[in-house]
Amino acid sequence: MSIKVDNVSFTYMKKTPFQVNALKNISFEIKDGDFVGIVGHTGSGKSTLIQIISGLLKEYEGNVVIDGIDYNDKKADRTRLRRLVGVVFQYPEYQLFEETVEKDIAFGPKKLGLDEKEAEERVKVAMDLVGLDYDMYRDVSPFQLSGGQKRKVAIAGVLAMEPQILILDEPIAGLDPQGRENFLELIKSLNECGMTILMVSHNMDNLVEYAKRIIVLKDGELFMDGTPAEVFADKEKVAEASLNLPEVASFCDRLREKGFDVPDSIIRYEQLKDYIISTVGGSYDD
């Protein structure tokens, strides 16, 4: 499902002394099945951008077209758009409200007008996707679960709507290390099944491991756009956007200072590991 953002601008508190131009003439396209990381310093416009793409902020200038449907088109089928685009906000578990896990996940599908049987089927599939056993957890109160499990229930509620595009805002903040890894693997597998992913994150280490493309915003403008290797190769621009280098990239720099001839293409941990091991003469047993 493609996303086309065409010359979009947005101003908060227009015509007041607090006016902020949060987005300025942003244009880009995201193709079907892509995994895009959206990064930028706090206040760069990331959250505004994803709220516009999810159809939550309306008073913007320019056009946003999802799968050929323009949000601004008066005849646009908004219900269809809402189904196409799923959004997982920061700390989504705060939005849980039902008595049982099953009821919470089924809330959206039922609002779509699905009957009990269909809704139950959606819940089963969604719980299976996030790795929660249906029989074990269906009747449990979501509030009795651990933080990581609550978040799984929250995302299952979004997945039960069968979105084609999934937008996530800092999805792993507050999870423990195992929870973080499981969650990122889940998003990766959804992407491999064809879901288009847009993920806002401050964690560059995760993005270089998972995203196929990175869009950098700075002061409301599109500042950089490319593969993780392309973006983080331009150290000066990355610093200008007040972004941290991923751990691997900054370690490569330090190695270069020490006289190692590290190729620019090395951006993920596995690549760095293989490079070092081959350079210092280690050998894999298997």
Partner 1 sequence: MIVEANGVRFAYVSDEGKYTFALNDVDITIEQGEFVTILGHNGSGKSTFAKLVNALNVPTNGEILIDGMDTRDEDNLLDIRKTAGMVFQNPDNQLVATIVEEDIAFGPENLGIPREEIRERIDYALSVVHMEKYRKHAPHMLSGGQKQRIAIAGVLAMKPKIIVFDESTAMLDPKGRKDVLNIMRDLNRNEGITIILITHYMEEAVYSDRVYILDDGKVIKQGDPVDVFFDYDTIEKTGLTLPFEAKLIRDMEKTGVAIRHTLDTEELLEGICQLK
Q: Interface with partner 1 by CB under 8 A: which residues?
A: 41-43, 146-148, 173-181, 202, 242, 244, 247, 251, 254-255, 258-260, 269, 272-273, 276-277, 279-285
In the bound complex, what is the minimum distance in angstroms from residue 203's beta carbon to partner 1? 8
Query: What does the block give as tokens for 78?
Result: 């908004």
- Rounded to 5 degrees, what angle do the CA atoms 246, 247, 249 make? 65
Instruction: Please identify, using beta-carbon distances, which residue of 197 and 204 lies nearer to partner 1.
Output: 204
In the bound complex, what is the minimum distance in angstroms from residue 222's beta carbon to partner 1? 20
Residue 90 is given by DSSP the state S
Rounded to the nearest 10°, the torsion over CA 149, 150, 155, 159 is 80
Query: What does the block give as tokens for 189?
Result: 């597998």
Bridge pairing between strands 69-70 and 213-218? unpaired
Instruction: Please identify, using beta-carbon distances, which residue of 176 and 264 lies nearer to partner 1.
Output: 176
In the bound complex, what is the minimum distance in angstroms from residue 234's beta carbon to partner 1? 19
Strand partners, 23: 10
User: Within 10 A of 79 (CB to CB), how many other CB atoms are there?
Assistant: 10
Contact by Cβ (8 Å): 174, 91: yes
In the bound complex, what is the minimum distance in angstroms from residue 15's beta carbon to partner 1? 20
Instruction: Please identify, using beta-carbon distances, which residue of 71 and 210 lies nearer to partner 1.
Output: 210
Instruction: Please identify, using beta-carbon distances, which residue of 189 and 242 lies nearer to partner 1.
Output: 242
Query: What does the block give as tokens for 181?
Result: 């890894």
Instruction: Please identify, using beta-carbon distances, which residue of 113 and 178 lies nearer to partner 1.
Output: 178
In the bound complex, what is the minimum distance in angstroms from residue 284's beta carbon to partner 1? 6
